[in-house]
């Protein structure tokens, strides 16, 4: 593994499968009465969040704590975009506190890349979502979830599996990271969106693209719905929320066209009634809550592997 | 009495070696007996070009003296071989009144490193709402002839039409920053495959091309002079080529265009570093755009090279991409970049460089009584001596600019400005400011 996790493209297939298999070991911890390992005792993990994201922050926090790391939460309200403290000065402050890993969420694409490559900090940098760029740990937890359901938790388990990613691909860091990671793992990805919500140049991505949800989902093994943010509705990307839901929302009627084994995913937070209806979100096919559980295990694996725990994560108790 | 200089064995525009005497502000024959007592410069291997003229410089004063002042900006210009720069209007306050343009003009005269010709804003405060007092700026001591809201586009079609019409009264030109604002809201880099991958909002070529298409039609309709700033796309070159063909038959209107050195050399691939040293407006484009610009500059579709020298303090670049300022330094590297991209590739000879970097910009800015003249006996002694065989590695710390935001840090570039003379006075000798 590289020293930083900035993009899903940083992971080779071996790296990615090592994260998944490590996460599988760590996930079993969740079923034990005492959920804590000493693997990162004495190490400091800083959660540096320039954007509100309670679910991602507490997931990283739980992951670090279960590995016995010391956790500092740094909610940097107002980035240098809004003339608060600059990213650089914040980074220097954290460096002075002796952080071993910085988990960063930032509204500007590439901010974690700057943090890792500008000589401001020596610690490992984990991208916890940057602008409309990437969210690699989300892609890892999504892959982990698919791997358990569709790949028998074995190496190569996602080879040839068909994944539909549906919605606002243009602004989605989740879609970018998933497209990259799933390709690395051998799955076939189809992006489904109205043309206005697909990035220029998407034809060069290692994915299929479709404007027609009904044509794609009957063949899919997993259907991942993306959130459509409220501000997009005013941006003229589609005429109305109702039209969007009719054409690109997953409802009970569409769910009935899925194969028996097909799972429904969502990175959260959901807009129920917009991209997904309540009956789908709460159905047996939905693995949305499990994704959250898996998120902690995957982030434990990432922190453990990046911080170079030399002893096995599980069973290495002193 | 001021020093006179006898420049020996210099190759004027790359021609046969000759001697030039710079005396009393004009060029005299090197064989002239009055060369006695002149300081002798051995210019063997050096090329003499007319002092360069930049139609597009940001000197930042008044208002942002932390980034650049008229003095430091013109020092950088002199080191780059320039004897005249046009200072853009987007200062604080905006150069939209006779008072501000006269201040900038006066600061340039006091600094003395090169002539400063202020550009006047087209609209009050660059707000794109109503015309600034263009006539007052034209009639001022600064004698403004170039008007631009550069940094912002005069996007309102009626306002642009009126500006083009109005400046005809004093032989002015409107220099348009062609950027359709709605198509570029929040734009960060060239829109293409890479912007999609990097998650940076795209600045599509069509946003530049749509404005150029509109403006050349307006210029034709009202019979005026349009200048297009920092052309960056292949499509723009094509449109300007088409427009020039029409204007050449008509002769009642004209369109001229500039390309920036960075658009002749660098591509959008550099954005993948997320290092905002490469953030500029219009953005770095694709390799195909670079090739089209070079071809356009070679065949005259693009009339001139202009630097768009845009100094910014360190903190405005030492941050995340989206938070960073647009712009890069250009004055001290322009001639080297033009040598590398145009001369060493065989696209332009040195006479062509003199035309694109001195004579043509002087004509567009209506300063060709003093600048952009031939290097010939009897002409004003605005001359640069350039060593095309030298190479150097760009070190931002060596810049005369107050700012350090050069995208060429660490790059090896050909050529070196050895000396610059403004009306016979050396502003640079042996590569050093005087």
Tell me: the pLDDT tens digits for B254-263?
A: 999 999 999 9
Q: Does A86 touch chain B (CB under 8 A)?
A: yes
**Chain A environment of B314 (Cβ under 8 Å):** none
Name chain A contacts of B196, Cβ cutoff 8 Å. 199-202, 205
Residues A141, A71 share a domain: no
Q: What pLDDT, on the 0 to 100 scale, is given for residue A316?
A: 44
Residue A318 banded pLDDT, cuts 50, 70, 90: very low
Average pLDDT over residues B274-297: 98
Separation CA B206–CA A199 (nearest Å): 16
Task: Return d(Cα A87, Cα B318) in angstroms, integer.
Answer: 9
Residue B320: pLDDT above 50? yes
A190-199, B1-10, B362-371: least confident range: B1-10
- A189 and A149, same structural domain? yes
Residue A242 above 50 pLDDT?
A: yes
User: How many Å lie between the alpha carbon of A186 and the closest alpha carbon of chain B?
Assistant: 20
Quick check: is A12 in a domain?
yes
C-beta atoms of A133 and B200 within 8 A: yes
pLDDT of residue A1: 80
CATH for A117: 3.40.50.1370
Confidence at B344, pLDDT banded by 50, 70, 90: very high
- Give B42-95 as a 3 state SS string: ECCCCEEEECEEEEEECCCCCCCCCCCCHHHHHHHHHHCCEEEEEECCCCCCCC
Task: Select from B183, B274, B316 the residue whose CB has the most chain A CBs within 10 Å, as the one to mutate to test that interface.
Answer: B274
Chain A nearest CA to B142, separation (Å): 37
Based on the fold, state whether residues A68 and A117 are members of the same structural domain: yes
Read off the pLDDT band of A229 (50, 70, 90).
confident
Q: Is residue A314 part of a domain?
A: no
Residue ranges making up the domain that contains A298: 8-133+294-306
Chain B CB contacts of A130 below 8 Å:
199
And the tokens for A2?
């590289």
**Contact predicate B91/B405, CB 8 Å:** no
pLDDT of residue A230: 74
A3 occurs within a structural domain: no
Which residue among A79, A107, A202 sits closest to B196, beta carbon to beta carbon?
A: A202
Name all domains of chain B by residue range, CATH numbers in brackets: 5-47+379-433 (2.30.40.10), 51-364 (3.20.20.140)
| B202 at A interface, C-beta within 8 A | yes
Q: Name the residue of chain A whose CA is nearest to B190's CA.
A: A200
Could you tell me if A262 and A142 lie in one domain? yes
Task: Provide the number of CB pairs (under 8 Å) joining chain A to chain B.
Answer: 84
Q: How far apart are CA B327 and CA A61, in angstroms?
A: 40
> Is the preceding peptide bond at A48 cis, omega within 30 degrees of 0?
no
- Do A17 and A96 reside in the same domain of the chain? yes
Q: Do A91 and A150 have their domain in common? A: no
Q: Is A38 on the interface with B (CB under 8 A)?
A: no
Greater model confidence, A95 or B44: B44
Is residue A317 situated within a structural domain?
no
Claim to verify: residue A59 and residue A101 sit in the same structural domain: yes
Q: Tell me, yes or no, whether A281 and A141 share the same domain.
A: yes
ipTM for this model: 0.91
Contact residues on chain B for A108, CB-CB shorter than 8 A: 320-323
Contact A176 B323 (CB under 8 A): no
Assess contact for B177 and B150: CB atoms under 8 A: yes
**Does residue A153 sit in the same domain as residue A280?**
yes
Above 90 in pLDDT, residue B148?
yes
pLDDT on residue A81: 47
Quick one: tokens of B315? Answer: 């903190």
Q: How confident is the model at residue B30 (pLDDT cuts 50, 70, 90)?
A: confident
Distance CA A118, CA B6 (A): 49
- Chain B residue at shortest CA distance from A169: B196
**Residues pairing with B259 in the sheet:** B305
From CA B173, how far away is CA B255, in angstroms rounded?
9
Is A313 among the domain residues? no
Examine the residue annotation and report whether B308 is marked as an active-site residue of this protein.
yes
- What distance, in Å, lies between the first and last C-alpha atoms of chain A? 25
pLDDT tens digits for range B150-208: 999 999 999 999 999 999 999 999 999 999 999 999 999 999 999 999 999 999 999 99
Q: Is A269 annotated as a binding residue?
A: yes
The answer to whether the annotation marks A32 as part of a ligand binding site is no
Q: Are residues A115 and A246 in the same domain?
A: no
Choose the mutation target among A8, A91, A114, A183 for the interface with B, i.e. most B CBs under 10 Å. A114
CB-based contact A108 B275, cutoff 8 Å = no
A147 and A262 share one domain: yes
Rounded Cα distance between B323 and B305, Å, is 29
What percentage of chain A has pLDDT greater than the value 90?
76
Q: Does an H or E element contain B228, and which?
A: strand B225-228
Closest Cβ opposite residue A80 in set B191, B196, B320: B320
Res. B268 pLDDT band, cuts 50 70 90: very high
**Tally of domains within chain A:** 2
Domain assignment of residue A318, yes or no: no
Residue A221 forms part of a structural domain:
yes
Are residues A268 and A283 located together in one domain of the fold? yes
> Considering only alpha carbons, which residue of chain A is nearest residue B323?
A81
- Give the mean pLDDT of B301-329: 97
Answer whether A202 touches B (CB < 8 Å).
yes
Can you tell me the mean pLDDT for B396-409?
97
Residues from chain A contacting residue B321 (CB–CB below 8 Å)? 108-111, 114
Does position A312 have pLDDT exceeding 70, yes or no?
no
Cα separation, B280 vs B285, in Å, equals: 10
**Nearest partner of B406 among B295, B320, B307, judged by Cα:** B307
Residue B123 is given by DSSP the state B
Write down the pLDDT at residue A310: 52
Percent of chain B predicted with pLDDT > 90: 97
B274 to A202: CB separation less than 8 angstroms, yes or no: no
- A43 lies in a domain? yes
Q: pTM, whole model, 2 decimals?
A: 0.94
Contacts with B, A 116-135, CB within 8 Å: 117-118, 130-134
Write phi, then psi, for B61 (nearest 5 degrees).
-100, 135
Among residues B96, B215, B308, B316, which one is catalytic?
B308
* Chain A residues whose beta carbon lies within 8 Å of the beta carbon of residue B318: 86, 88, 118
A81 to chain B: closest CA residue: B323
Mutate to test the interface with A, among B196, B276, B286 (most CBs of A within 10 A): B196
């Amino acid at each position: 593994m590289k020293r930083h996790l900035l993009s899903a493209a940083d992971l080779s297939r071996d790296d990615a499968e090592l994260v998944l298999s490590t996460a599988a070991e760590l996930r079993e911890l969740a079923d034990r009465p005492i959920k804590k390992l000493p693997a990162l005792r004495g190490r400091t993990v800083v959660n540096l969040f320039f954007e509100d994201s309670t679910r991602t922050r507490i997931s990283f926090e739980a992951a670090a704590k279960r590995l016995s790391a010391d956790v500092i939460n740094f909610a940097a309200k107002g980035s240098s975009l809004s003339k608060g403290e600059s990213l650089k000065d914040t980074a220097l402050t954290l460096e002075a506190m002796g952080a071993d890993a910085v988990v960063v969420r930032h509204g500007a694409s590439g901010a974690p890349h700057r943090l890792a490559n500008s000589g401001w900090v020596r610690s490992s940098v984990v991208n916890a979502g940057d602008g409309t760029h990437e969210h690699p740990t989300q892609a890892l937890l999504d892959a982990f979830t698919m791997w358990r359901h569709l790949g028998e938790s074995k190496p190569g388990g996602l080879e040839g599996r068909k994944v539909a990613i549906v919605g606002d691909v243009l602004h989605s860091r989740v879609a970018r990271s998933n497209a990259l990671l799933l390709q690395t793992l051998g799955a076939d990805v189809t992006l489904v969106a109205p043309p206005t919500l697909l990035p220029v140049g998407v034809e060069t991505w290692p994915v299929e693209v479709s404007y027609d949800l009904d044509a794609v989902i009957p063949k899919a093994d997993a259907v991942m719905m993306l959130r459509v943010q409220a501000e997009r509705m005013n941006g003229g990307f589609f005429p109305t929320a109702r039209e969007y839901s009719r054409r690109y929302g997953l409802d009970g009627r569409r769910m009935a066209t899925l194969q028996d084994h097909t799972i429904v995913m969502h990175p959260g937070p959901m807009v129920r009634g917009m991209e997904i209806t309540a009956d789908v979100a709460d159905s047996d096919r939905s693995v949305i809550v499990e994704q959250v559980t898996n998120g902690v295990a995957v982030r434990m694996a990432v922190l453990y592997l990046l911080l170079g725990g030399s002893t096995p994560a599980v069973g290495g108790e002193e | 009495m001021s020093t006179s200089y006898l420049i020996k064995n210099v190759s004027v525009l790359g021609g046969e070696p000759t001697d030039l005497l710079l005396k009393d502000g004009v060029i005299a024959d090197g064989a002239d007996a009055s060369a006695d007592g002149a300081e002798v410069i051995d210019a063997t291997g050096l090329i003499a070009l007319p002092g360069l003229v930049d139609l597009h410089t940001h000197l930042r004063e008044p208002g942002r003296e932390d980034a650049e002042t008229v003095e430091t900006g013109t020092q950088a210009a002199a080191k780059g071989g320039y004897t005249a720069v046009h200072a853009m209007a987007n200062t604080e306050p905006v150069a939209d009144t006779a008072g501000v343009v006269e201040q900038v003009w006066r600061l340039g005269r006091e600094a003395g490193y090169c002539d400063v010709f202020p550009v006047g804003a087209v609209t009050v405060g660059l707000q794109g709402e109503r015309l600034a007092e263009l006539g007052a700026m034209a009639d001022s001591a600064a004698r403004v002839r170039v008007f631009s809201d550069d940094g912002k586009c005069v996007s309102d079609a009626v306002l642009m039409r009126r500006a083009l019409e109005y400046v005809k009264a004093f032989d002015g030109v409107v220099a348009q920053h062609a950027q359709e604002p709605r198509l570029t809201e929040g734009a960060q880099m060239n829109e293409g495959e890479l912007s999609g991958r990097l998650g940076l909002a795209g600045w599509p070529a069509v946003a530049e091309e749509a404005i150029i298409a509109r403006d050349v039609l307006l210029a034709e309709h009202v019979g005026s002079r349009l200048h297009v700033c920092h052309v960056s796309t292949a499509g723009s070159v094509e449109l300007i080529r088409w427009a020039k063909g029409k204007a050449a038959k008509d002769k009642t209107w004209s369109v001229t265009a500039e390309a920036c050195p960075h658009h002749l050399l660098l591509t959008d691939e550099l954005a993948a570093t997320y290092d905002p040293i490469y953030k500029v407006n219009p953005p770095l484009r694709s390799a195909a755009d670079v090739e089209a610009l070079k071809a356009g500059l070679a065949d005259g579709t693009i009339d001139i090279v202009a630097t768009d020298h845009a100094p910014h303090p360190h903190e405005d670049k030492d941050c995340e991409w989206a938070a960073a300022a647009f712009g890069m330094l250009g004055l001290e590297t322009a001639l080297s970049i033009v040598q590398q991209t145009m001369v060493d590739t065989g696209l332009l000879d040195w006479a062509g460089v003199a035309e694109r970097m001195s004579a043509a910009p002087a004509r567009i800015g209506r300063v060709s009584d003093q600048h952009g003249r031939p290097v010939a006996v009897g002409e004003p002694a605005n001359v640069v001596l350039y060593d095309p065989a030298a190479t150097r590695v760009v070190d931002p710390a060596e810049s005369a600019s107050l700012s350090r935001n050069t995208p060429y840090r660490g790059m090896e570039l050909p050529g070196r400005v050895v000396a610059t003379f403004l009306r016979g006075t050396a502003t640079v000798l042996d590569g050093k400011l005087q």
